[in-house]
Amino acid sequence: MNPLLLAIDQGTTGTKVLIMDSTLNVIAEKSTPFPQHFPSPGEVEHDLAEIWESVQAGIDAVTARVDPSKIVAIGITNQRETLCFWDRESVRPLRRALVWQDRRTAARCAELKALGLENKVQEKTGLLLDPYFSATKLEWALKNDPAVAAAAKSGTLAVGTIDSFLLAKLTSGVSHATESSNASRTLLYSLDKGDWDPELLQLFGVDARILPEVRNTFGEFGKTKGVKNLPEGIPITGMIGDQQSALLGQACFNPGNAKCTYGTGAFLLMNTGTERRRSTSRLLTTVAWRDRAGKTCFALEGSAFMAGATIQWLRDGLGIIQNASEVESLAASVGSSEGVMLVPAFTGLGAPHWDPSARAVISGLTRGSTRAHIARAALEGIAFQNVDILNAMEKDLGGEIRDLSVDGGACRNNLLMQIQADLLGRRLLRPELTETTAIGAVFAAGLGAGIWNGFEELEKVWRLDREFSPVITLEERSRRLLEWNKAVARARMS
């Protein structure tokens, strides 16, 4: 029997747990949603107890179908910048996690920019000063949350991204570690040094002792201890941030390979190899992964905050659909959006604009506009954001990206994929297994456990499902992009 690997894909709105074998056959899987918490406008939090319950529910479900003693390794992938606070010994959460979408530190980021610190921060971290990242969230909690401040004072505070918290839970607090792809999203990690940066720790008032140890992406992080329905001693051999995991799961192993993941947000990453490429277009330089030998692979990244979450808003906010799956047929019922534009800046605009004060805009409405036109404009708004990112990425590259691999839940929407191909003017490649974030966690675990000895073996198991090629003219594409740019200008004036 092929070795079995268990992957935990802990996302923004739910957790997927699956078991795969070494030929990428899905043996068992379970997805479990969990609540979102919005204490005030612009604030987004997750209850860590509810997150762990969703992980445990997945473990319970998949191990009911498979003998858990056959699991040889575990991989973790996770929503990245979301920050967790827990007691080091008991692994008891001290407060809700501050989610990557949370904007409460926007004023602090603006203050740091006004002090002229963004260039220095970008040089060290590859990131920009934005509430999206973890450091200002940590600074805020240390100053404003009594439980966090007290634990920091007593020396019992443990802080980390979701991967670190799950590792602590899986090992009953024995391991407090992260890896470089997640660490590189915190504004505290030096890309050149490959570790926490003392100058940045001082800037944000962080004691390094509360942070996890930074390790290679592939390799042993600890072993299971005290987890219901899992045997003792299963090694956790891979951890990787979700977007880097999708890059890995899409077999984007070579410089120039790029992918877009359509999840809650949309995330474009391009492998730049061992070269740390500095962006002049307000994209991010990030760690893709660090291999077992400690060699770092870098990536360029652009993120749009609202993709699948835009469809959720059509359902929950406007009520024009009952299920997310309805949006494709509704949008396809009209031949075009008839001039209706939707800029989904509900939590500001991400790359390359980085405008936390921007707000969502629907423009071009007439008496003839219907919910179908709004639905189609929503799909186009998701796609247009990615055009802005890809254009910036190609400017940094000095050349064109020929193909874009696509994955995530929304890539199953054929209309969205055709719209994306049309507006990008690029061919899209969709794999047979579209949940490539989870597959990346399987790859990471297998590489860390020595089940696969290199990327060449992984390329053999990746399989293509469908290609989408552009069908509109260059003139039509240019006209529509001009309309989009006008709508973005309105959103940034809000």
Token representation of residue 318: 């406007």
Mean pLDDT of 207-221: 97
Closest CA to 314 of 387, 268, 395, 373: 373
* Contact indicator for 191, 197 with CB cutoff of 8 Å: no
- pLDDT higher than 70, residue 211: yes
**Strand-pair category, 157-161 with 97-98:** unpaired
pLDDT score, position 1 = 63
* Low-confidence winner among 76-85, 159-168, 185-194, 352-361 (lowest mean pLDDT): 352-361
Q: What ranges make up the beta strands (E) of 316-468?
A: 341-343, 361-363, 403-407, 427-431, 464-468
All structural domains of the chain with their residue ranges: 4-242
- pLDDT higher than 70, residue 235: yes
Give the residue carrying structure tokens 């008496």. Answer: 367
- The phi, psi pair for 73, rounded to 5°, reads -165, 160
3-state secondary structure of 78: strand
Closest CA to 277 of 257, 255, 260: 255
* Contact indicator for 29, 442 with CB cutoff of 8 Å: no
pLDDT score, position 303 = 86
**Strand-pair category, 296-304 with 266-273:** antiparallel
How do residues 116-173 score in pLDDT, each as one tens digit?
999 999 999 999 998 989 999 999 999 999 999 999 999 999 999 999 999 999 999 9
Mean pLDDT of 380-387: 96
pLDDT score, position 278 = 86
Closest CA to 447 of 312, 319, 290: 290
Mean pLDDT of 372-376: 97
Mean pLDDT of 330-353: 92
One of 3.40.228.10, 3.40.50.300, 3.30.420.40, 3.40.50.150 is the CATH number of 4-242, namely: 3.30.420.40
Mean pLDDT of 415-430: 95
Mean pLDDT of 350-377: 92
State how far the Cα of 404 lies from the Cα of 417, in Å rounded to an integer. Answer: 11
- The phi, psi pair for 166, rounded to 5°, reads -65, -40
Q: Which helix (H) or strand (E) holds 270?
A: strand 266-273
* Contact indicator for 236, 221 with CB cutoff of 8 Å: yes
pLDDT score, position 494 = 63
How do residues 51-103 score in pLDDT, each as one tens digit?
999 999 999 999 999 999 999 999 999 999 999 999 999 999 999 999 998 99
pLDDT score, position 472 = 94
- pLDDT higher than 90, residue 397: no
Q: Which helix (H) or strand (E) holds 190?
A: strand 189-190
Report the Cα 141 to chain-centroid distance in Å. 22
Q: Which residues neighbour 446 within 8 Å (Cβ) at sequence distance 6 or greater?
A: 3, 5, 22, 73, 75, 237, 238, 452
Token representation of residue 54: 């969703």
Provide the residue type at 85 as one letter. Answer: F
State how far the Cα of 210 lies from the Cα of 152, in Å rounded to an integer. Answer: 7
* Contact indicator for 385, 259 with CB cutoff of 8 Å: no
Q: Which residues pair with 142 in a beta bridge?
A: none
Q: Which residues neighbour 430 within 8 Å (Cβ) at sequence distance 6 or greater?
A: 405, 406, 407, 411, 417, 464, 465, 466, 467, 468
* Contact indicator for 54, 34 with CB cutoff of 8 Å: yes
Position with higher pLDDT, 380 vs 434: 380
